[in-house]
Structure 1
Amino acid sequence: MEYRKLGESDVTVSAIAFGAWAVGGWMWGGTERKEAVGAIQAAYDLGVTSIDTAPVYGQGTSEEIVGEAIKDIPRDRVQILTKYGMRWDLAKGTLAFHTKNNDGTPIDVYKYAAKESIIKECEDSLKRLETDYIDLYQIHWPDVTTPISETMEAVSRLIEQGKIRQAGVSNYSVEQMKEAEQTLKLASNQVSYSMVKREIEADLVPYCLENRKSILAYSPLERGLLAGKIKPGHQFAEGDHRVNYKAYKDGNIDRVWPFLDKIIPLAEQKQVSLSQLVIRWTIDRPGITVALVGARNAEQAVQNAKAIDVRLTAEETAFINEQLEAVVLV
């Protein structure tokens, strides 16, 4: 495994991190807890020491699974990355969306990051994770109803109390990062980034490179689209959010497959999977510190972790980028 500093902080993370959204079950058609725990442990055995989760993933389920998976691992050997600012148990802030929990009960999720809410969320996360500190605490989505300064002041207090090590943001713009940094120093920004979703290269990547902030790329496989296993006409399981996800609608699957057909021979030549090729390309991109990759069982986790062994030459990377120029999702 490769390990990288999180911004200018004292936290070192694995370049491939375990993304624990899917193991929470919520929006992914449910979860199998034993397999989920096994997936995290299998990833750790191959050097994936960083795990990214959030309270809203299964309304606590993902954090509980993470806590169970790492309970026998020395705490200083893993990095827990979790989030705050999305409440399903409190109707304050801005309504993010209507959804259903893992039991099928309708719930409303709100973006809310006021001071007292953050303090409570942190305590709840620590209990579910069965730990006394969080390595990176990230606001999940911007909350327009709470001043950024108030949110960051609460996080500063948690740092002073030793409950979190470093502060990060997620889905923040450059301007929002600048405003947050008027109150405290940020280590990172977690954003959606993939071969077919590269908008951040225009402004966020240059800003983070210049200011030595890490970028944690989530959905580098575009929620499975770039893994090459989902073809036109695919039927998703009930409760799987991808049925309405942009990348899978309006003919986008058909637009991506000609590109995948061109790079599959490269993966075969290297005797690696398409997913592994995509993950390696992602962590090689300028400004990208970590690729967050999900897995729901040990086999998937092992395959993701082994992507670190893939090597791309400058010529191979240029070839991939050239083919990408023809891919435009709508």
Structure 2
Amino acid sequence: MRYRTLAGTDLSLPVITFGAWAAGGWMWGGTERKDAVEAMRASFDLGVNAIDTAPIYGQGTSEELVGEAIRGIPRDKVYILTKFGMRWDLAKGDFAFHSKDNMGKAIDIYRYAGKESIIKECEDSLRRLGTDYIDLYQIHWPDSTTPIQESMEAVAQLIQQGKVRYAGVCNYSAAQLEEANRYVDVVSNQVPYSMVKRGIEAELVPYCLEQGKSILAYSPMERGLLTGKLKPGHRFGEGDHRANLYFFSDENLRRTNAFLEKVKPIADGKGISLGQLVLLWTLEQPGITVALAGARNTEQAIQNAKATDAELSSEEVAFITAELNELELVK
């Protein structure tokens, strides 16, 4: 495993960090707790000593599983990244969407980052995770009903109390990141980035490079689209959020898989999978510090972790990017 230091911190994170959204089951058609815990432990054994989670992932389930997975590991040997600002148990803030929990019960999701909510969420996360501090605490989504100053000053207070080490944001624009940084030292922005979702390259990446902020890329394999394993006609299981996303239409699966076939010889030549190739390309893009990769079982976790056993040359990166620039998906 290779490591990169999060800007302005002493956190040396694995370039492929374990993303624990799918492990929580919510919006992924449920979870097998035993498989999820074993996947995290298998990752740790291969040098993936950082896990990114959130309370909303399974309404506490993901954090509980992370806590179970890291039990027995010296606390300073693993980095915990979690979030705040998405409530399913409080109707306050920006209404986000209707959903169902892992038991099939209807729930409403709100984006809310008021001070009192953040303090409560932090205590709840610490309890579920079985720890007394969080390494990187990130607002999950912007909340238009709460001033950024209020949210960030609450995180600054948690840092002062020793419950949080560093502050991060997720899904923030460059302007929002700039404002947040006035009230607390924001070290990172976690945003969606993949071969087929590159919007951050226009404004956010240049800003972060200029200001010395790290970018954590989530969904680098676009929720499985870029693994090459999904074929036209694929039917997702009940509760799987991907069923209604345009990325997974039959036409877009055809187009994406045609692109993947063009770059597959590079993967074959290195003895790696398409998914591993995609992760390597992502890590070579300007401004990207870490790629978050999810896994629901040990096999997937091992494959993600071992991606960094291989490397891409600048010529290979350029070839992949040139082919990628010819790919257009239908919305």
TM over 0.5: yes
Q: Which residue of 2 aligns with 1:308?
A: 308
SS of the residue aligned with 2:109?
Answer: strand
Give the residue type in structure 2 aligned to 1:71.
Answer: R
2:74 corresponds to which residue? 74
Q: Matches of residues 133-152 of structure 1 in structure 2 within 5 Å?
A: 133-152=133-152
* Secondary structure of the structure 2 residue equivalent to 1:82: strand
Quote the residue 1:20 is aligned against.
Answer: 20
Q: RMSD of aligned C-alpha atoms? A: 0.8
Q: Secondary structure at the match of 1:224?
A: helix
User: What is the letter of the counterpart of residue 119 of structure 1?
Assistant: I
Residue equivalent to 1:243: 243
After superposition, the C-alpha distances for 1:273-305 in whole angstroms (9 at most, x for unaligned) are 001111111111111010000001111100000
Aligned to 2:36: 36
How far, CA to CA, are the matches of 2:28 and 2:160 in structure 1?
36
Return 5+ residue gaps in structure 2 as ranges.
Answer: none
TM-score, scaled relative to structure 2: 0.98
CA contact (8 A) 2:24 2:31 kept: yes
Within-5 A mapping of 1:1-330: 1-249=1-249, 251-329=251-329, 330=331
Secondary structure of the structure 1 residue equivalent to 2:186: coil
Inter-partner Cα distance in structure 1 for 2:261 and 2:279 = 17
Distance 1:328 1:303 in 2: 28
Structure 1 residues 11-20 or 119-128, which shifts more? 11-20
| Aligned amino acid, residue 85 of structure 1 | G
Q: Could you say what secondary structure the match of 1:138 adopts? A: strand
Q: Residue 10 of structure 1: CA displacement?
A: 2.0
CA distance in 2, matches of 1:282, 1:75: 29
- Give 1:255 deviation, angstroms: 2.1
CA contact (8 A) 2:232 2:250 kept: no
Deviations 1:122-167 (A, max 9, x none): 0000000000000000000000000000000000000000000000
Contact in 1 for aligned 2:233/2:250 (Cα 8 Å): no
What is the DSSP-based 3-state SS (H/G/I as helix, E as strand, rest coil) of the residue aligned with 1:187? strand
The CA deviation string for residues 199-238 of structure 1, in whole angstroms up to 9 with x for no partner, is 1011111111111111000000000000000011101011
Give distance in 2, aligned partners of 1:120 and 1:175.
Answer: 27
Q: Distance in 2 between matches of 1:250 and 1:275?
A: 20
The answer to whether the Cα contact below 8 Å between 2:232 and 2:249 also exists between their aligned partners in 1 is no
Question: d(CA) in 2 for partners of 1:179 and 1:249?
Answer: 38
Report the CA distance between 1:252 and its aligned residue. Answer: 1.8
Alignment partner of 1:255: what SS?
helix
1:250 CA drift (Å)? 7.1
Distance 1:129 1:208 in 2: 30
Percent sequence identity is 66
Q: Distance in 1 between matches of 2:325 and 2:205?
A: 19
**CA shift in 2, pair 1:250/1:298, >3 Å:** closer
Report the AA paired with residue 82 of structure 1. Answer: T
Output the amino acid matched with 1:298.
T
Deviations 1:236-266 (A, max 9, x none): 0111100012311373212212111101121
User: What is the distance in 1 between the residues matched to 2:40 and 2:177?
Assistant: 31
> Quick check: 2:284–2:317 contact (8 Å CA) kept in 1?
no
1:9: Cα distance to partner? Answer: 1.4
Of 258-267 and 112-121, more deviation after overlay is shown by 258-267
Unmatched 5+ residue regions in structure 1?
Answer: none
Partners of 2:268 and 2:17 lie apart in 1 by: 24
SS in structure 1 of the partner of residue 215 of structure 2: strand
Letter in 2 for 1:20: A
| C-alpha distance in 1 between matches for 2:191 and 2:55 | 17
1:223 match: secondary structure: helix
